[in-house]
Amino acid sequence: MRRILLLSAAAVALTGPAAAQFVPSQESLQGLYPGKAYSPYAKRSFPSRVFWGDTHLHTGYSMDAGLFGNTTGPDTAYKFARGEEVTAASGQPVKLARPLDWLVVTEHSDGMGMIFDLKDGAPNVLATDQGRRWSEAINEGGEASVKATLDLITTFSQGEMDPKLIADYSPGSPIYASVWEDLIQTAETYNEPGRFTAFHGFEWTSLDKGNNLHRNVILRDGANKAQQVEPMVTQGPGGTTDPMGLYAWLEDYEAKTGGQAFALAHNGNLSNGIMFPTDERFTGDMVDEAYVTARAKWEPLYEITQIKGDGETHPVLSPDDEFADYETWDAGNLDLSEAKTPEMLRGEYAREALKQGFALEQKFGINPYRFGFSGATDSHTSLATADSDNYFGKATNAEPSPTRMAHPFTETDQGEFPGWSLVASGYTGVWAEENTRASIWDAMVRREVYATTGPRMAVRFFGGWKFSDADLRTRNPAFVGYDKGVPMGGDLRAATSDAPTFMVYALRDPIGANLDRVQIVKGWMDSDGALHEKVYDVAWSDDREPDANGQVPPVGNTVDEQAASWTNTIGASELATVWTDPDFDAGQQAFYYARVLEIPTPRWVLYDQVRLGAEVPADAVRIGQERAYTSPIWYAPEG
């Protein structure tokens, strides 16, 4: 009887005053405790912590970062990520609210170290017409420096750099080898297993006439293996803009060193339709078995949100998704040398790619777009900031100032990415056993990760066949999640014709905003090969009731624009549910992922208004709903 009374008290705490007289039946208590010992944390064999980090950060070693004024290097990046106060290149003190657990410094592999020699007027730089012109303008400063910077970036993006200049800052040259070795040794200095993880990596910056095909490469290994190679580049001797060349580099890396690596694409929204090809690739080659096999092997994750726009979906692709138009960048490609057209969108966004993967799998037997989700900053300031109230821009010239949002990120006769549209995003949460390179890298490869636009909300997502509401009552849903199902990134194979059940749990960022709702996004391919998607509200805060169409009303808005603040008087601190797919068909392939939305909060432009007296343009978006995206769980029929 005492056991029943104690459990009844726990039920009251979970369900509120209306359950005060509830006494659970003996039958409902069977199997309620899933631990293997009295201490639920003993004998635990699954990932129990979420580790926060950034897979995409540049320092002054990257050519474009240095050109825009970043004089800080990887030392600053690691110190800042570990929680130390540093001085930004603009001279301002800056510190994270909370340290990160891990970081990948991903300098652009092309031209690493060139910026230092441009500024110093090195003899090899002055020996080329381009190098001499850029060096003189950069040292002149002011408008001449700005024009030279933009000219250099455009020249690179269009593949028109002087071959002699490129060769000096490409693999095989003494200059390049020295820069790579310095990056390796700095990462080793700050890597502290159990406390902070510093990965070796780089960004392969592929551009096809300004169309973005960038990938970051992340190594699992230490210096002994990273030192055996030099990064893959896109220009100069041995370089290529074709991802197949990068996949070959990854294959060679593993064969030569015995190490492990993977590639991580980003900003398909700036590719003008070529990031996720389904028929013809940008090279003119067809999507074939070799391509889908290589991409499936080497790209387990996709960077779904970052500073240059959100990459989940687009309103044109998802017209029934009321939250689809979030931090949308759709004016054109990366350098706005070509405007966007609607037919390009299908090859640019993560949700659509996940669906198209089913069609390619039907054709080739392999799904190349079976990826999990990560988030990153892509900051070029050495500062991994993803919080709107601590936003330090993408480049040094966009660090806090009263006028920064007035300057476009890019503007041509094809369109504009206005300065206010830059996004504070994002971070990656990794469910791993420990804070080490091996543990975090392995979790990323098995896709047990999720992306957020900045807030550090804790999110669990499991799929299985036997989850019930009672499984949430333990307050430790992960125990039963791993015991009865698979976590985010996993696979469900048909065991019966019954619909799968999904257990999702979200806890707000302890210093952030309350939660609005949890949604499950489903994509599937029917028996005729047609592709579909649907967004389900599965848990929401407050006393809202869905309307006749099943839509949950907006949560409300407590943002005080004059003070750049909000109150947690709406929303919930946590949301959890077990959900069964009401439209399940056992014969159809499907994916499911959870999207967690916060209540509305200020974007960084309002903090600039309050702190700096900045003028916010009339068309600027001032308020947004930050969010998290879990990696999908895939369902496949038998056979």
CA distances in angstroms from 144 to 134, 139, 147, 225, listed in the order given = 9, 9, 5, 42
Over 80: is that where the pLDDT of 283 sits? yes
Higher pLDDT, 10 or 475: 475
**Once rounded to an integer, what is the mean pLDDT over residues 411-419?**
94
List, as one string, the DSSP characters of 233-264. -SSSTT--S-HHHHHHHHHHHHHHHS--EEEE
Helix then strand then coil, in percent of the chain rounded to 5, is 30, 25, 45
> pLDDT at position 141, please?
76
Q: State the alpha helices, DSSP H only, in 388-452.
A: 437-445
In sequence order, what are the residues at sequence separation of 6 or more whose Cβ sits closer than 8 angstroms to the Cβ of residue 430?
Answer: 50, 51, 52, 53, 102, 440, 443, 444, 448, 449
**Rg of the Cα atoms in the chain:** 25
Whether residue 104 is found in the same domain as residue 119: no
Which region holds residue 575: left if phi is over 0, alpha if psi is between -120 and 50, else beta? beta
How many whole angstroms separate alpha carbon 426 and alpha carbon 48? 22
Number of domains present in the structure of the chain? 3
Q: In angstroms, rounded to a whole number, what is the distance separating the alpha carbons of residues 262 and 483?
A: 29
Neighbour-count burial for 451-484, b at 16+ CB within 10 Å, e otherwise: bbbbbbbbbbbbbbeebeeebbbbebbbbbbbeb
Residue 325 lies in a domain: yes
Task: Tell whether 135 and 270 lie within a shared domain.
Answer: no
433 and 551 together in one domain = no
Q: What residues have CB less than 8 Å from 6, skipping those under 6 apart? A: none
Residues 74, 187: contact at Cβ < 8 Å?
yes
pLDDT of residue 149: 80
Taking residues 313-319, what's their average pLDDT? 98
Instruction: Please indicate, yes or no, whether residues 378 and 245 belong to a single structural domain of this protein.
Output: yes
Contact status, residue 510 vs residue 457, Cβ threshold 8 Å: no
Q: What is the pLDDT of residues 121-172, one digit of tens each?
A: 999 999 999 999 999 988 887 778 778 888 887 887 777 889 889 889 999 9
Which residues, at least 6 apart from 74, have a Cβ–Cβ distance to it below 8 Å?
59, 61, 105, 183, 186, 187, 382
Each residue of 36-51: pLDDT tens digit? 778 878 878 889 999 9
**Separation between Cα atoms, residue 410 and residue 336, nearest integer Å:** 7
Residue 260 clears pLDDT 60, i.e. is over it: yes
Q: Are residues 342 and 486 in the same domain?
A: no
On whether residue 32 sits in a domain, the answer given is: no
- Binned at pLDDT 50, 70 and 90, residue 639 comes out as low
Helix (H, G, I), strand (E, B), or coil: what is residue 607?
Answer: helix
Sign of CA dihedral 208, 393, 451, 111: positive
Q: What is the value of pTM for the model shown? A: 0.92
- What pLDDT is recorded for position 69? 86
| Euclidean distance between CA atoms 155 and 139, whole angstroms | 19
Q: Which residue has tokens 């990366």? A: 334
SS3 (DSSP) at 525: strand
Question: Helix, strand, or coil here: 274?
Answer: coil
pLDDT higher than threshold 60 for residue 292? yes
Residues 374-389: pLDDT tens digits? Answer: 999 999 999 999 999 9
Provide φ and ψ at 241, rounded to 5°: -95, 0
Same domain, 496 and 481: yes
Using the predicted structure, report yes or no on whether residue 250 has a pLDDT greater than 80: yes
Spatial distance between the Cα atoms of 549 and 538, rounded to a whole number of angstroms: 14
351/319 Cα distance (integer angstroms) = 13
- What per-residue string of b and e applies to 186-221 under the rule 16 or more CB within 10 Å gives b? bbeebbeeeebbbbbbbbbbbbbbbbbbbbbbbbbb
pLDDT of residue 390: 97
Confidence check: pLDDT of 611 > 70: yes
For residues 491 and 580, is the Cβ–Cβ distance under 8 A?
Answer: no
Q: Which pLDDT score is estimated for 139?
A: 85
- List, in sequence order, every residue forming a beta bridge with 405; answer none if it has no partner: none
E-state strands within 405-564: 410-412, 415-417, 427-432, 449-452, 458-464, 485-487, 491-493, 501-507, 515-525, 531-540
Specify if 66 maps to a domain: yes
Expressed as residue numbers, the domain containing 512 is: 457-635
Render the burial of 383-418: b for 16+ CB within 10 Å, e for the rest: bbbbbbbbbbbbbbbbbbbeebbeeebbebebbebb
Residue 8, pLDDT score:
30
Q: Find the mean pLDDT for residues 456-474.
A: 93
Give, in order, the Cα–Cα distances in Å from 302 to each of 29, 445, 545: 41, 11, 35
Question: Residue 520 and residue 504: Cα distance in Å, rounded?
Answer: 9
C-alpha distances (whole Å) from 412 to each of 223, 390, 429 are 43, 29, 36
Other Cβ atoms within 10 Å of 568 Cβ, number: 14
Mark which of 385, 411, 442 sits at the end of a domain.
442
40 lies in some domain: no
Tell me: cis bond preceding 73? Omega within 30 of 0 counts.
no
Both 472 and 334 in one domain: the answer is no
Residue position matching structure tokens 């420096």: 145
Mean predicted confidence (pLDDT) in 214-220: 98
- Taking residues 172-201, report their average pLDDT: 97
Q: Taking residues 536-561, what's their average pLDDT?
A: 94
21 falls in which pLDDT band (50, 70, 90)?
very low
**Domain end call among 398, 414, 442:** 442
Q: Are residues 429 and 301 in the same domain?
A: yes
38 in a structural domain: no
pLDDT for position 295: 98
Q: Give which of 206, 269, 296, 274 is closest to 243, Cα–Cα.
A: 206
- 227/370 same-domain check: yes
Confidence at 30, pLDDT banded by 50, 70, 90: low
Between 5-19, 37-51, 84-98, 137-151, the lowest mean confidence (pLDDT) is in 5-19
Residue 152 confidence (pLDDT) = 85
Going by pLDDT thresholds of 50, 70 and 90, the confidence category of residue 7 is very low
pLDDT of residue 96: 98
Is pLDDT at 10 greater than 60 in this prediction? Answer: no
Sign of the alpha-carbon torsion through 608, 610, 616, 620: positive
Give dist(CA 529, CA 361) in Å, integer: 11
105 lies in the same domain as 91: yes
Share of the chain above pLDDT 70, in %: 94
Q: Which of 627, 155, 288 is nearest to 429 (CA)?
A: 627
Task: State how far the Cα of 418 lies from the Cα of 354, in Å rounded to an integer.
Answer: 30
Residue 381 inside a domain? The answer is yes
How far is Cα 445 from Cα 412, in angstroms, rounded to an integer?
39
Domain identity same for 219 and 289: yes
> What pLDDT does 23 receive?
44
Query: Crossing angle of helices 289-298/243-257, nearest 10°?
Result: 60
Which carries the bigger pLDDT value, residue 198 or residue 472?
198
CA angle 538, 539, 543 (to 5 degrees): 130
54 in a domain, yes or no? yes
pLDDT at 142: 73
Examine the domain organization and report whether 141 and 225 are in the same domain.
no
The DSSP symbol for 192 reads B
Determine contact, residues 598/554, Cβ cutoff 8 Å. Answer: no
- CA dihedral (162, 166, 168, 173) in degrees, to 10, reads -140
* Confidence category of residue 334, pLDDT binned at 50, 70, 90: very high
pLDDT at 9: 31
pLDDT on residue 15: 34
Q: Is residue 10 part of a domain?
A: no
* pLDDT value of residue 14: 35
User: Which three-class secondary structure state does DSSP give residue 410?
Assistant: strand
